Amino acid sequence: MIKILVVEDELIVSMELKSRLNDLGYSVCGTVASGEEAIEQANKQEPDIILMDINIKGAYDGVQAAEIIKSDHDIPIIFITAFTDPQTLQRAKITEPYGYIIKPFEDRDLHTSIEIAIYKHNMEKKLKSSERRLGITLKSIGDAVIATDKNGIVNYLNPAAENLICYNIKEAVGKSIFEILHLQKQNDDTDPNSTLKDLIQSGLKKDFSGVTVIRCKKENERIVESNVSSIINEKENIEGIVLSFRDITERIKMEEELKVALGKAEESSKLKSSFLNNMSHEFRTPIAGILGSAQIFKDESPNGKNKEIAEMMIVSAGRLLSTLDLILQFSLLESGKIEASVSEIYVIEITENLVNKYKKSIREKGLELKLNLADKNITAVVDLKLLMLALNNIIDNAIKFTRRGRITFETGSVVRNNRKWATMRITDTGTGIPEDKLNIIFDEFRQASEGTTRSHDGNGLGLAIAKKIIEQMNGYITVESRQGKGSKFTIYLPAELPRTGKVKNGKTKTELNKIPS
């Protein structure tokens, strides 16, 4: 129920007013006869509304009492008066009352004035609350915000805008937007000042956004993302504009630095690949000579120490030649000189071919070879030569790092993300990979065991090459491993032709004898 404080120095009028308010359903929390009492009761009772007679006894009349109450409380006040002279009304207007009731008055007038005052006060409270929230938001955001009227005269800017244009709000308010905001063209773009003027002169019928340059009064230039929007009232009339700016100077600077760094990195990568490629070719010729000479030396030394030395030379030169091949393959892949030319193949044929190639070396090491081959009709869309290169690197590692147990080859198919994949899995019972090394084994020149204490030879390129090749064929590879238990490498390859129904090189399903070893 609405609480009302009545301030009236005529007792009969005060009692009658209280009775009429009660009949109208209001609660009268007090009746007082002076301005001093009105101030005291306003502090004590905190009424929802005050009905105040202008001409009351005491040190303060109704207008003065209303001014004091208004300074301390947000309480709507309605003046009740029998005097409507201009001087009295002018004094009363300063206190911003919520209405006037002229004596004598009807209950309907009283009820209407109170309801309108309460409604207006509630709306003002909501508006003030919204303004406070908006003000806090605008002050706290990092974007600069400037508001103007429809003629481009500034009426607000937030702290971020003050910092950006080097004007404080007192200096800026009342000035034309073009006095405080100096926009410049970026590259060959349209002049933003002209665009803004056109918008203001044409009634701001459209918004615009873009990247521009702001020059503040300290002659500093900042690159900003800008947005200009119209302020439109409920009658669709434009009352002004709001300009927002995000300073992207540092971001642009960083992007330029990144472009330069990227260019240097790409150039460095090309130089590295070119160097590796050239060095591989340069080393291959003398190594081939060493191999040939070592073989002749071995043949001419049927037994004894010389034969043993010749065999060591052949093994070492062969290992070096294998390393050079890997380096050459990696440099070609990294430089983009190897392109996958895909065709549709039977996965089981590839696996059987691998088994035939590696079963001898697996058994010579005392390992068991296990097969788990799925449907013979599973196909994959891959480049045969590149796929074999990737698989050779993975299987070589499996054999190298497995001292006892088995090597398992598996094939299958899965559906992931509504796409069918052919799978090839190589599992070993070898040394396994430490958990903290799983994230580096596909990096070039990295191994699970590194440094002078490593127990196996290698250059850390095999798995890196395998991963690059598989990804170049739109596939991917995963690894599961436990140190001391072994590793499982699973390759996922596209199992379907492109939607066009054609393969890049026009090949169809391949015969076994066409698969490169």
Model confidence, pTM? 0.44
Are 461 and 334 a contacting pair, CB within 8 Å? no
pLDDT at 501: 42
Are 442 and 464 a contacting pair, CB within 8 Å? yes
List where CATH 3.40.50.2300 sits in the chain: 3-137
406: helix, strand or coil: strand
DSSP calls for 66-121: HHHHHHH----EEEEES---HHHHHHHHHT--SEEEESS--HHHHHHHHHHHHHHH
List where CATH 1.10.287 sits in the chain: 253-334
pLDDT at 186: 60
**Cα three-residue angle 30-36-37, rounded to 5 degrees:** 15
DSSP calls for 144-208: EEEEEETTSBEEEE-HHHHHHHT--HHHHTTSBHHHH-EEE--TT---HHHHHHHHHHTT--S-E
List where CATH 3.30.565.10 sits in the chain: 343-514
pLDDT at 202: 62
* Domain boundaries 141-247, corresponding CATH code: 3.30.450.20
Running along the chain, 517 residues long, what does each successive block of 10 average in pLDDT?
A: 91 90 92 92 92 88 90 90 74 83 86 91 88 80 86 88 85 86 65 64 63 70 81 77 85 89 82 70 76 80 76 76 68 66 85 86 89 84 86 88 90 87 91 83 63 48 84 89 90 74 39 34
Whether domain 253-334 has CATH 1.10.287: the reply is yes
Cα distances (angstroms) measured from residue 128 to each of 47, 121, 373: 20, 10, 75
pLDDT at 504: 41
List where CATH 3.30.450.20 sits in the chain: 141-247
pLDDT at 277: 67
pLDDT at 505: 40
Could you tell me the fold of the domain covering 343-514? Heat Shock Protein 90 (3.30.565)
pLDDT at 508: 36
Could you tell me the fold of the domain covering 3-137? Rossmann fold (3.40.50)
